[in-house]
Each structure stands twice: as structure tokens, then as C-alpha cells.
Amino acid sequence: MTHDSPAQPLFLCESGFSSESPRPALPHLPPLSLYIHIPWCVRKCPYCDFNSHTASPVLPEQEYVDALLADLDLDLPHVYDRELQSIFFGGGTPSLFSADALGRLLKGVEQRIRFASDIEITLEANPGTFEQAKFSAYRGLGINRLSIGIQSFQESKLKALGRIHNGDEAIRAADMARQAGFDNFNLDLMHGLPDQSQDEALADLRQAIALAPTHLSWYQLTLEPNTVFWNQPPVLPEDDILWDIQETGQQLLATHRYAQYEVSAYAQPGKPARHNLNYWAFGDFIGIGAGAHGKLSHPDGRIIRTWKTRLPKDYLNPDKPFQAGSKLLPLDELPFEFLMNALRLTNGVDAALFRERTGLSLDSLAEARRQAEQKGLLHEDPSRLIATPQGQLFLNDLLQYFLI
């Protein structure tokens, strides 16, 4: 998923709408996805800023599944008879849960919301939690895509990252995924690791390509607040080395038919992550589970972001609410909310999608688009909103044209 989402300041509106303007109805409701957060890990990694917690010897699987379904019940009024296009199990390490628990959960979800006939169901998994029978059982549940957290194949780098697996286990995980029947899987791989050379980074990438995943998420390690690495920064490669890694790696991926379609996402033909594409195109998603976020649109034009209770013990406490908060997005923030995701896509989005997803006229972007185009950060294409390569490289600078 994304790793550098900026803050959400107000949008500069040249055409004069404000948060007090009448809210336009949406022509169509966006596609609907479901994100399910399972917050437990074997061990918290020093770079990780996600809502993850070290697992106890016995996980509260049944209690947590009950809570997830009760949480989902509260969001059902916002479905508006839509089908689920995708489901994503994120974490944490969702593959710590048994197939029985995930099967009961999926059955409960399908009893509440219709599944699209071609629904994509992704499960995040980490090497070190792989068991052949378990993953074959996952596949039998209808889970049809895996996202495997490799990060590196090199022992020294894995140790520096606090990972529980070694390089051989990473390779076996990809092989086991295929043997279990997963012909569609992603490998998560980092570069710019502590003391990493260009040769080491590209060796990792070549090994990942050799495993023939349908999708690669290849992204640079960043130091995030509230992590061990933030408080005790490791020595990272110099900027010129990072640039060479990125440039050479992109050429290598293209040579092997991995097309870049987002800042850090590369896919074989026809295999982009549909769940993530829905995020980036300002689609809707229900978020259930400890700390999960959601975004839900209403026919009257209201667009609401939600976030759930963060700590698992509080989420499982029947005396505490599942939802920690929600926010009605003001009209003057909608363009920024749309663009901060859409401009990450290499091919951008159809300009008409802006009105469809926000209810606002594209005219409201005219002056900001003109300025960004003049600076070479946005393509001069009236039918699409597309960042230039320079605009993607300096995405935050591009977004500044759409802010106060």
C-alpha cells in the first residue's frame, strides 16, 4: 500500500466553493471494498508504524471474529445494496489466524454483503508463518491472492529489519504459495535498507523477479515517527545511491514485463492489485478491526472517513465502542483527498472520475492544473489527470498547487 501519504490541509479553491457550499449529490456511488485488520504479529519490526501488536501464545480468534462481524453490522447501512469488489486481510500478520477462523469470518461477511462474481480476496502473509496445509486451506476458502512480506532475501538485512524469517524461508514461501494454488501473489520488497549497496538492492530484486510473482510492491524504506528506527536511526544509503537503485531497478522490472502503475507498485499484464486501485481511485471501503480506517460515500454527497478503536483489548471490550471516530469531509478538502491518491497512479485517472467521486466540477481545478502543467509536474491532457514522471518524483510538491 502507500508509504508517504501527506497530511490533509485545506484545498485552494479558485472557483469559490467552500465547506459551507451546498453539497452536490454523487452521480454514482463508487465501488465498495472491505478491509479487515488483524493486528497481531510474532514480533514488532523496528521500522513498522502500522497498528500491530506482539501476539500472545494463544490468539483470541473466535472472540475477534465475533467482534469483526458485529463491527461490520454497524456499517451495513452504508452499503446501499452494493457488491463487494475486493476484500483485503491486512495486519499485523493475518496468516497467524487459522483457516477455520478466516472461513467463519468470510462466511459471515458474505451473509451480510453480496460478493461480486470475480471478487479479489487478498491475505497478507509473512514467511515464517507458512504451512503448506494451512495455505491450501486458505485457498479453499476462496482467498485468491496472497501478499507476502519478503522485504529482503539477505540475512544481514533481514536481521537489521527485525524479520523472523531468513532468505531460504522467503523463497520457500513463494514456492508454497504456488503449490497451494495461488497463481496470483504479490511480493513486498524494500530497498534503501541500512548499509545497503546498489548491488545488494538489485540482487534482492532479481531474486524476487526469479520467483515470478504476478505483482511486486518495491518501495524504499522510510523512517516513520513512533518506531524504533525513528528513535534510533540506522545508517541508510546516500541519496545518489538511492537514485541509482531506483532508476536501474525500474529498468530491470520493465525488462521482465512488470509495468509500473503506481509509485511503488509493479504488475504483470492484467494483474494490478484491484483492492489498492479502488483506494487510489477514491473508491469506498469499509474498515473493520482494531485501528482500521474506512471511507464511505452517500448518495446525498456526504463522504465520511471512519476509524476504529486502536488497541485490540479495547476493541474486544464489550463496554467500549468499535468506532473511535469519524469525519465528514468538507467540500473544500475533497479535491485534495481525491488527488493525493489519484496522482500516485502512473496513468492517472479519467478527469470525469473527479466529478463522479466528489460531486464537484472539474472547473474548480482549472487554475491549479494550469500552474502545475506550466511547472512540468502535470501532463497537459484535458481528459485525464496524470502526473508527469517529475510530478510523481516530487508528488508532495505537485500537491502543493492544490493547497492553500
| Nearest by Cα to 142 from 169, 166, 172, 115 | 115
pLDDT: which is higher, 226 or 324: 324
Percent pLDDT > 90 in the chain is 77
Predicted confidence (pLDDT) per residue in 201-232, tens digit: 999 999 999 999 999 999 999 989 988 888 89
Instruction: Please write the tens of the pLDDT for every residue from 69-110.
Output: 999 999 999 999 999 999 999 999 999 999 999 999 999 999
Q: How far is it, in rounded angstroms, from Cα 272 to Cα 87?
A: 15
Predicted pLDDT of residue 322: 97
Q: What tens digit of pLDDT does each residue of 159-203 get?
A: 999 898 999 999 999 999 999 999 999 999 999 999 999 999 999
Q: 384's torsion region: left (phi>0), alpha (psi -120 to 50) or beta?
A: beta
200, containing H or E segment: helix 198-210
- For the chain, what are the domain ranges? 1-19+331-404, 32-278
Does position 329 have pLDDT exceeding 90, yes or no?
yes
Residue 282 exposure: Cα atoms within 13 Å on the Cβ side? 29
pLDDT in tens, 25-72: 999 999 999 999 999 998 888 888 788 888 888 999 999 999 999 999
Contact between 203 and 82 under an 8 Å Cβ cutoff? The reply is no
Question: Which residues partner with 122 through β-bridges?
Answer: 88, 145
pLDDT band of residue 21 (cuts 50, 70, 90) is low
- Say which DSSP state 387 is in: B
Coil/strand/helix, residue 385: strand
Whether the domain at 1-19+331-404 and the domain at 32-278 fall into the same CATH topology: no
In CATH terms, the fold of domain 32-278 is TIM Barrel (3.20.20)
What is the fold, at CATH topology level, of the domain defined by 1-19+331-404? Arc Repressor Mutant, subunit A (1.10.10)
* CA atoms of 147 and 140, how far apart (whole Å): 17
Q: Kindly state the percentage of the chain with pLDDT values over 70.
A: 95
For 351-364, give the DSSP string.
Answer: THHHHHHH---GGG
